[in-house]
Structure 1
Amino acid sequence: MQVVGYRTETVEHAPALLLASGGTVEDEPLTPGTALSFSLGDRWCAGAVDGDDHYACDRPGSPYCDQHTSRWPCARCTGDCDLPLSNCREEHAVYLAAFAPDVFKVGVTKSHRLETRLREQGADRAAHVHTVSDGRIARQLEAEYAEEIPDRVRIPTKIAGLDGAVDDAAWTDLLTEFDIIGTYTFDYGLDLDVRPVSETLLSGTVRGVQGRVLVLDRGGTTYAVDLRELVGYGVTQEATDRRLQSSLGSFP
């Protein structure tokens, strides 16, 4: 089997890993309490997924080789385009997202995907600050705000705040600069009192998933796993026996 993708939690779907074998893709649920017992082997290109079908690739690039790496054309757009994609002309939302304790970002998405996008990113809180007629206007606003508010947050930064809470004063202070259309508060049920240890593994009991971060309990330690870092690995159904980092709380 090979890990060929993952699905973050949304309103419609529970989080899951996508495992492929013999050209077929199956879900491996990542719901709280699920016991995972996979060992990671070699890593190579995850190929392509189309519904339940998997098109394998044996090239060494991971998680994808050059032929299977898709580059989102809007990723670094600042609104100086000619609306090249059909969905550029859809209504867009500009939002602010908060990650504990005091990391904030600005972002844009199609209006109908707003809550889904926030969950995909693992935001703790968010505020919808603009609704505009197309993606170009949204990107122009994002670029303007990004001069003072970051437009991306790295996974290690998100992991560093998983055991904390959003700084209410800092978040409220930021929002005073905007006319708020709506706000969101998310609870991913992790209930952490210590920061999890960052690792790449797939064995343990699922505590929960926040954005693309899988949180596992194993051997008295809680681990945080970037799901993207699992994509491309060949896996076998047995718990890993490699030596892992442990938190100080795991020792008597």
Structure 2
Amino acid sequence: MGDGWSGGWWCTGVRWPGEAPELGWRRGGDRRVSVLAYGTGLGFRALGERHCVGARGNVCPLAAVVPGRSTGGRCAECARLDRAHSVAADTLADDPRTYRVYLAWFGPGLVKVGITGEERGAARLREQGAVAFTWLGRGPLMAARRTEEVLRAALGVPDRIPYAGKRAVRGRLPGAGERAEAVAELYGRAAALEGRGWPDSLERLPLEVVDQVEVFGLSGTPAPIRSVRELVDGGVVAGRLVAAAGPDLHLAVTGGGGGGGGGVVVLDTRLITGWDLTAETGNGVGVGVPLIDIGGGGVQGGLF
């Protein structure tokens, strides 16, 4: 966070409208966007308590306080309202838009099939942190949803992949050729099912592997070793942005008073929504919030 902003801004999270991540901000009715660039500094301090971010663009009527570790950032009622209007809730059967079915690869053994509105392009794949992907088909919502279900069952892939799993493999990805081969092999298995569960109204699309390693800045950057568990009142997160994938920002930090050397810390920006944040310039290289060792260690509570 920079640009000389004063306090009072709430972060609304990371968006990927193009090939550069953006942080959204809200203060009352004002909204702003910070376009993030790799190699630049990013720092802020959290103040007070974390409050519900509301639902569907509306302010939470209760101004409810929510837990620091919640990646949803919403109270129970706002979470219910937000979910009820999502495509995943299967409540939009009459949606006239065209949807696409995709095959997303996050790392060895981490694959999912999903759908997204065609007008959104690959934004959904960037939002999920898909390292590589290919489109499978396009058509009406219910045909896309049916195909998604058939392929999940046939390929034996889950409907969701926890971000902890994605982070664990992000620092040790195979080469571009191997990534493309993995996606192509799965595409072949999916295509072989056409006529055995694919709705006639869904048009199959040709294999075209899209690799997003360069978009995310993951090529040649150090593997992350810790991630932020939660923010706390007065807690500082500051470092140099070296990569980003989905909601995760990879920040290079140096050693500090907590003992430990330098390294890359992952900040899941879903954890910072609903906090009152102020810009933190200082030395720009410290993290003063609880951390989790991605390598399987414990929790660190001080500055890393």
What TM-score do you get using the length of structure 2 for normalisation? 0.67
1:74 maps onto 2:109 in alignment: no
Partner of 1:160: 168
User: 1:109, 1:22 → 2: CA distance?
Assistant: 30
Name whichever of 154-163 and 60-69 sits farther off.
Answer: 60-69
Gaps of 5+ in 2: 1-7, 68-72, 192-204, 232-236, 255-261, 296-304
When the two chains are superposed, the root-mean-square deviation of aligned CA atoms in Å is 2.9
% identical aligned pairs: 25
Distance 1:159 1:16 in 2: 20
Q: How does 1:1-252 map to 2 (within 5 A)?
A: 1-11=8-18, 14-21=20-27, 23-41=29-47, 42-47=49-54, 55=59, 58-61=63-66, 63-69=73-79, 70-71=82-83, 72-77=85-90, 83-84=93-94, 88-132=95-139, 134-147=140-153, 148-166=156-174, 167-168=178-179, 169-179=181-191, 181=206, 182-186=208-212, 187=214, 188-190=216-218, 191-199=220-228, 200=230, 202-219=237-254, 220-238=262-280, 241-242=288-289
**1:162 aligned partner, one-letter code:** R
Aligned length: 237
Of residues 195-204 and 112-121 in structure 1, the stretch that sits farther from structure 2 once superposed is 195-204
Structure 1 counterpart of 2:64, one-letter code? R
What CA distance in whole angstroms lies between the structure 2 residues aligned with 1:197 and 1:26?
29
Q: Is the 8 A contact 2:107 2:173 kept in 1?
A: yes
TM-score by length of 1: 0.80
How far apart, CA to CA, are the structure 2 residues paired with 1:243 and 1:66? Answer: 25
Q: Is the 8 A contact 1:119 1:210 kept in 2?
A: yes
- Give how far 1:99 is off: 0.5
One-letter identity of the residue aligned with 1:198? S
- 1:4–1:49 Cα contact (<8 Å) kept: no
Contact 1:98 / 1:123 at 8 angstroms: preserved in 2? yes
Q: Secondary structure of 1:178's match?
A: helix
Contact 1:109 1:117 in 2 (8 A): yes
Report the alpha carbon displacement of residue 160 of structure 1 after superposing the two structures with TM: 1.1
In the superposition, relative to structure 1, how do residues 155 and 21 fare at CA in structure 2: closer, same or farther (>3 Å)?
same
